[in-house]
């Protein structure tokens, strides 16, 4: 693991088991071994939190110092020690922010941009949502009317706003949200073409329905056993039999769909 190069590598191990130690060692070897060792500022080291980035920088610094004790004549190592403060050891957020700051002109955005805080963003989102719904009501397409009918709760738009935000947030966790949404749209479009039963999620749903029916039928079966016990509530038997038959019919129907 410490030696492998030029490929993706996932290091997964228990807390405190030495993951960071492995990563630090990999970096130290990259900047100290071979004929042409790298410079530390040629590497990009990204972490989730500021604390993790600080820990990483400190541990790389300590490791370089250890190496220097062994090889005080190594000029490349001295250079690394000097480069560490400006090495790209940063959180994902600050790396992205830097990238945008340095290239705002090619991105066509205001150079005075800043990162919004959660409260501001929430206000902005609500503004956009309000404006968008208003435009949709105005346009009044039948699809939209059906959507409101289906997801709206009474007079409030809360229900449909929740559904839209939920979908939007979920889409944002995909690397290409718009493409993902377009794919979902295609899947739904198939419904109109009668191919919906072929879609992966419909097959999943049907399998899930079948499994749930089986579980419920099993429970009814147990209730039947109780009914038939001596002095049991036998009056429930016909109703339970009928319930069981219905559950099994739904299960067969779902199974027949995939």
Residue 136 backbone dihedrals phi, psi, to 5 degrees: -65, -40
Least spacing, CB of residue 14 vs ligand ATP, in Å: 7
* Residue 15, binding choice from ligand ATP, Mg ion, none, Cβ under 5 to 8 Å by partner class: ligand ATP
Least spacing, CB of residue 18 vs ligand ATP, in Å: 3
Residue 20 binding Mg ion, by CB under 5 A? yes
Return d(Cα 61, Cα 31) in angstroms, integer. 12
Return d(Cα 14, Cα 23) in angstroms, integer. 15
Residue 94 binding Mg ion, by CB under 5 A? no
Token readout for 207 is: 């399998």
The conformation of residue 153, written as its DSSP 8-state character, comes to B
Segment near Mg ion (CB under 5 A); pick from 13-21, 62-70, 86-94, 107-115: 13-21
Residue 18 binding ligand ATP, by CB under 6 A? yes
Q: Collect all residues with Cβ–Cβ distance below 8 Å to 119 and sequence separation of at least 6.
A: none
Name the 3-class secondary structure at 61.
helix
Residue 92 half-sphere exposure toward CB, CA atoms < 13 A: 3
Segment near ligand ATP (CB under 6 A); pick from 11-19, 73-81, 99-107, 183-191: 11-19
Residue 17 binding ligand ATP, by CB under 6 A? yes
Size of the site for ligand ATP (CB under 6 A): 8
Residue 156 backbone dihedrals phi, psi, to 5 degrees: -85, 150
Site string for ligand ATP, 21-60 (x = CB under 6 A): x---------------------------------------
């Amino acid at each position: 693991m410490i030696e492998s190069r030029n490929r993706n590598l996932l290091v997964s191990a228990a807390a405190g088991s030495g993951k960071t130690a492995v990563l630090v060692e990999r970096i130290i070897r990259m900047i100290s071994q071979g004929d042409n060792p790298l410079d530390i500022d040629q590497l990009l080291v990204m972490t989730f939190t500021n604390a993790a980035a600080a820990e990483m920088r400190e541990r790389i610094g300590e490791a370089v110092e250890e190496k220097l004790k062994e090889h005080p004549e190594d000029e490349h190592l001295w250079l690394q020690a000097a480069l560490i403060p400006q090495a790209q050891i940063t959180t994902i957020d600050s790396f992205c922010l830097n990238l945008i700051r340095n290239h705002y002109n090619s991105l066509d955005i205001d150079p005075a941009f800043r990162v919004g805080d959660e409260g501001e963003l929430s206000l902005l989102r609500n503004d956009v949502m309000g404006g968008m719904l208003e435009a949709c009501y105005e346009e009044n397409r039948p699809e939209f009317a059906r959507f409101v009918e289906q997801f709206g709760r009474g007079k409030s738009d809360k229900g449909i706003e929740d559904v839209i935000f939920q979908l939007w947030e979920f889409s944002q966790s995909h690397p290409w949200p718009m493409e993902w949404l377009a794919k979902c749209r295609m899947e739904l479009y198939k419904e109109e073409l009668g191919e919906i039963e072929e879609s992966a999620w419909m097959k999943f749903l049907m399998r899930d329905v079948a499994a749930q029916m089986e579980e419920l039928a099993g429970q009814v079966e147990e209730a039947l056993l109780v009914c038939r016990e001596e002095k049991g509530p036998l009056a429930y038997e016909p109703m339970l039999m009928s319930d069981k038959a219905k559950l099994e019919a739904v299960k067969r129907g779902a199974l027949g769909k995939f």
